[in-house]
């Protein structure tokens, strides 16, 4: 199939845009984001990462006529029955915008209220959907297992990174240099699957 030379990334999230640029830029892929083009963000109506990635990718592909790559990702906490899951961003919503410190405090409070034993297992999940203007699509999934820590540690990354310590590492995602996180993150693993499919 070959790697698209120009790819529309169907997101307005600066952190995700930077992460994908760092991962795909060296492959010679020019990233144009929905933010750059001023595209509206479609309502995420599905109850799975796959469903929401499809909603976003197809909306962007239809609007622009470009192949569009959309990401839906989130944190699944074992002791919370997989929550916040597809509602990860929603847990951070406020009238003034997203507040992930508030969201991390909410997760910690719920775990404390339930007396959840340590280590408090969690995983980050990322599903990518590559949608074509003709309506076809492909899905790619990446996961990284780890545990939640408290208090928050680190100032890098975005979202729940300050409380997530991946297995086999002493640092949280927010304490890792971006190039180190990008070797092991859920998004990196989903993008690696995408790259294998494009090159295969």
Q: CA–CA separation, 36 vs 6, rounded Å? A: 14
CA 45 from chain center: how many Å? 17
**What does residue 82 show for φ and ψ, rounded to 5 degrees?**
95, -5
Tens-place pLDDT, residues 79-95: 999 999 999 999 999 99
Whether 1 is in a domain gets the answer: no
E strand spans, 4-136: 6-9, 30-33, 68-77, 93-94, 97-98, 120-131
* Residue 36 designated active-site: no
Residue in this structure with the two tokens 């698209």, named with its chain if needed:
4
| Residue 36 lies inside a defined structural domain of this protein | yes
Catalytic: which of 36, 72, 87, 167?
Answer: 72
Does 45 score more than 60 pLDDT? Answer: yes
Burial 169-187 (b: 16+ CB within 10 A, else e): eebbbbbbebeebbebbbb
In a domain? residue 119: yes
106 inside domain: yes
Domain containing residue 134: 6-199
| Residue 23, in any domain of the structure | yes
pLDDT tens per residue across span 51-107: 999 999 999 999 999 999 999 999 999 999 999 999 999 999 999 999 999 999 999
Quickly tell me which residue has 């009238």 as its tokens. Answer: 95
Residue 24 forms part of a structural domain: yes
CATH number at residue 57: 3.90.950.10
* Total domain count, the chain: 1
In a domain, 103, yes or no: yes
* Whether pLDDT at 2 is above 70: no
- 98 falls within a domain: yes
Helix (H) or strand (E) holding 146: strand 137-148
Give the pLDDT of residue 1. 55
């Amino acid at each position: 199939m070959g790697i698209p030379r120009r790819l529309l990334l169907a997101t307005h999230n600066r952190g995700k845009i930077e992460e994908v640029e760092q991962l795909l830029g060296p492959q010679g892929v020019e990233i144009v984001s929905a933010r750059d083009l001023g595209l509206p963000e479609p309502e995420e109506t599905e109850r799975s990462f796959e469903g929401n990635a499809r909603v976003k990718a197809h909306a962007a592909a239809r609007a622009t006529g470009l192949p569009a790559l959309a990401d839906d990702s989130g944190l699944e906490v074992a002791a919370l029955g997989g929550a916040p899951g597809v509602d990860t961003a929603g847990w951070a919503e406020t009238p003034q915008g997203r507040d992930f410190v508030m969201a991390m405090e909410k997760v910690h409070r719920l775990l404390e209220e339930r007396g959840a034993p340590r280590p408090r297992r969690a995983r980050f999940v990322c599903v990518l959907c590559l949608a074509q203007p003709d309506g076809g699509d492909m899905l790619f999934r990446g996961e990284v297992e780890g545990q939640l820590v408290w208090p928050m540690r680190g100032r890098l990354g975005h979202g729940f990174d300050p409380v997530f310590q991946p297995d086999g590492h002493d640092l949280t995602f927010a304490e890792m240099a971006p190039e180190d996180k990008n070797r092991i993150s859920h998004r990196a693993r989903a993008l690696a699957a995408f790259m294998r499919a494009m090159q295969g």
